[in-house]
C-alpha cells in the first residue's frame, strides 16, 4: 500500500512537472543508464565522450548534476532526483542550448515514475545483481523494473556477458536497434574490435568503458575520439579513488553491493602483494539479505576486515555487523568498530609499507545517517586527517 501511494505521488508530480516545464526531453537526446553497479562511472564516461566530441551536454549522476555548465548537489543518498527536479534540469539544459542529457537512472526512479515523460533515445543497462530487495521484494521484480528502461528507449545497449540479463533483454531487442558490449568476442563492442588502454583500474571499469563506447556508437560519435577520451579519463571522486600510495595505499570506493565489493576488492587485490585491509559496513533500513553476502565477498579477498557503521539509520549497528559476520568464515582477522572514524584509525594504524587499505560504502557521499539525522561526513577528509597525524 505504501509503495503504491509513493508511486502515485511521484507519478502525479511527474505529470505536473512535464507540463510545467513544457516537456523538455522532446528537445534533447536523452541517454539513460541503469544497472546495479557501474551507473555513475558509465554515465560520466558517456558525458565526457560527448563533451570531448564537441557536443553540448548535461548530466545527472549520484555524485552531482552538471547542468548548463553548472554543478549541483543532488542531495543526500540520492541518485535520480525527484521528477520535479529531473524535468527542471532538463528544461535548464534545453534553455542553455544543450542537445544531449546523460541521466543515471535507478530502479526506484523507474518504479516510482520519477522519469515518467522522459523520452530516452538510448537506454544502457550495465548489470543486475543482488540489491534493493527491500523495495522490490524479489530479484525478478528488480530485474523487470530495470528492463523497463530498454522498453522506453529507442536504442538499447546491453551487457552481452551477463547471460541472464541478456536473455531477459531479448524481448526488448527484437523490435528496435540495439548494441551489445562485453569482453567476449560475440559482443558487438569488445576489446578485440576496440582496443582500450584505460587508466581506470579493474575489469569492471573495462565493462563501464565498453558500455560508454557502445552508447557513443549508438549516438554516432567518432570512435577514435571516444576511445581517446576513455583512455585519458583518470577517474571519479569516490570510485576507486586513490588517497595515497606510499608507504601504503589507501583507496575510497562507493561499492555497497556484494557484486560491487567482489569487483572492487578483486581489483584492489592486484594492486598489492602484501595485506589487503578492508573497512566497510552496510546501510540500515535497506536490503538486509545482502549483508552476509557482503561479508562473504570481503572475506574472499581481504586479509583483514574492519566492520563499522554505514548509515545505520534507526537500526542497531551491532545487529547489522552481526549479519555481515554471518558470511565471514571463522578464523578471518576481523575487527568491530561501530564508530566509522575509529574504524578508519584502526585500519590505517595497522597498515604497514606495501599494504593496501580500501574503504567502501560511502564513496562521494558527504553525510552519515545516524538515527533520523544526517551528520557531516567525508571518508576522504577523515582519512587525510588521520594520515597527517600518522606522519607526525
| pLDDT attached to residue 90 | 97
* Count of structural domains within the chain: 2
Residues 284 and 225 in one domain: no
What is the H or E stretch that residue 306 is in? strand 304-307
Residue-number span of the structural domain to which 342 is assigned: 241-391
Same domain, 39 and 140: yes
Q: Which of 186, 211, 232 is the last residue of a domain?
A: 232
The C-alpha R_g of the chain, in whole angstroms, comes to 21
What stretches of 219-338 show up as alpha helix (H) in DSSP? 223-232, 258-269, 291-301, 317-325
Is the same domain home to 37 and 186?
Answer: yes
Identify the CATH number of the domain in which residue 276 sits.
Answer: 3.90.190.20
Q: Please list the helix, strand and coil fractions of the chain in percent, rounded to the nearest 5, in that order.
A: 45, 20, 35
Exposed (0-12), middle (13-18) or buried (19+): which is 299, by Cβ within 10 Å? Answer: buried
CATH number, domain with residue 119? 3.40.1190.10
At 111 the pLDDT is: 86
| Same domain assignment for residues 32 and 106 | yes
**Span 101-126, pLDDT tens digits:** 999 999 888 988 899 999 999 999 99
Give 159's pLDDT tier (boundaries 50, 70, 90).
very high
What's the pLDDT at 356? 98
pLDDT at 130: 60
Domain co-membership, 84 together with 191: yes
The answer to whether residues 228 and 351 belong to one domain is no
Query: Are 175 and 206 found together in one domain?
Result: yes
pLDDT band, residue 28 (cuts 50/70/90):
very high
* pLDDT recorded at residue 230: 98
DSSP 22: T
Q: Residue 392: pLDDT above 50? A: no
Percent of the chain with pLDDT over 90: 82
Domain end point (choices 197, 232, 267):
232
Residues 226 and 245 in one domain: no
**Do 67 and 163 lie in a common domain?**
yes
**384: Cβ–Cβ under 8 A, 6 or more apart, which residues?**
243
Q: Rounded to two decimals, what is the model's pTM?
A: 0.91
**Quick one: 254 and 153 in the same domain?**
no
Examine the pLDDT at 157 and tell me if it is beyond 80: yes
Over range 78-87, report the average pLDDT.
83
Amino acid at each position: 500500500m505504501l509503495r503504491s501511494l509513493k508511486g502515485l505521488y511521484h507519478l502525479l508530480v511527474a505529470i505536473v512537472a512535464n507540463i510545467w516545464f513544457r516537456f523538455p526531453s522532446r528537445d534533447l537526446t536523452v541517454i539513460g543508464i541503469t544497472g546495479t553497479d557501474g551507473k555513475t562511472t558509465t554515465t560520466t564516461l558517456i558525458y565526457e565522450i560527448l563533451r570531448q566530441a564537441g557536443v553540448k551536454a548535461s548530466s545527472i549522476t549520484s555524485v552531482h548534476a552538471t547542468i548548463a555548465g553548472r554543478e549541483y548537489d543532488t542531495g543526500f543518498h540520492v541518485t535520480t532526483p525527484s521528477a520535479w527536479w529531473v524535468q527542471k534540469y532538463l528544461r535548464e539544459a534545453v534553455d542553455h542550448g544543450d542537445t544531449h542529457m546523460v541521466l543515471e537512472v535507478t530502479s526506484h526512479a523507474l518504479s516510482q515514475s520519477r522519469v515518467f515523460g522522459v523520452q530516452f533515445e538510448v537506454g544502457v543497462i550495465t548489470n543486475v545483481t543482488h540489491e534493493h530487495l527491500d523495495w522490490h521484494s524479489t530479484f525478478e521484480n528488480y530485474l523487470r523494473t530495470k528492463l523497463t528502461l530498454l522498453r522506453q528507449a529507442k536504442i538499447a545497449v546491453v551487457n552481452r556477458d551477463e547471460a541472464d540479463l541478456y536473455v531477459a533483454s531479448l524481448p526488448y531487442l527484437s523490435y528496435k536497434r540495439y548494441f551489445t558490449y562485453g569482453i567476449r568476442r560475440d559482443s558487438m563492442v569488445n576489446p578485440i574490435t576496440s582496443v582500450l588502454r584505460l587508466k581506470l583500474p579493474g575489469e569492471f571499469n573495462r565493462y563501464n568503458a565498453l558500455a560508454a563506447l557502445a552508447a557513443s556508437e549508438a549516438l554516432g560519435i567518432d570512435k577514435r575520439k571516444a576511445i581517446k577520451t576513455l583512455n585519458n579519463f583518470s577517474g571519479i571522486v569516490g570510485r576507486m579513488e586513490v588517497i595515497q600510495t606510499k608507504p601504503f595505499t589507501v583507496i575510497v570506493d562507493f561499492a555497497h553491493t556484494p557484486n560491487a565489493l567482489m569487483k572492487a576488492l578483486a581489483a584492489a587485490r592486484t594492486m598489492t602483494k602484501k595485506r589487503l585491509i578492508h573497512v566497510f559496513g552496510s546501510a540500515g533500513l535497506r536490503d538486509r539479505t545482502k549483508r552476509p553476502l557482503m561479508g562473504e565477498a570481503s572475506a574472499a579477498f581481504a586479509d583483514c576486515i574492519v566492520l563499522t557503521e554505514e548509515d545505520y539509520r534507526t537500526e542497531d549497528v551491532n545487529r547489522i555487523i552481526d549479519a555481515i559476520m554471518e558470511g565471514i568464515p571463522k578464523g578471518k582477522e576481523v575487527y568491530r568498530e561501530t564508530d566509522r572514524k575509529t574504524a578508519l584509525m584502526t585500519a590505517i594504524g595497522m597498515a604497514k609499507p606495501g599494504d593496501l587499505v580500501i574503504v567502501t560504502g560511502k564513496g562521494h557521499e558527504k553525510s552519515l545517517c545516524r538515527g533520523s539525522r544526517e551528520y557531516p561526513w567525508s571518508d576522504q577528509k577523515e582519512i587525510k586527517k588521520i594520515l597527517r597525524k600518522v606522519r607526525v
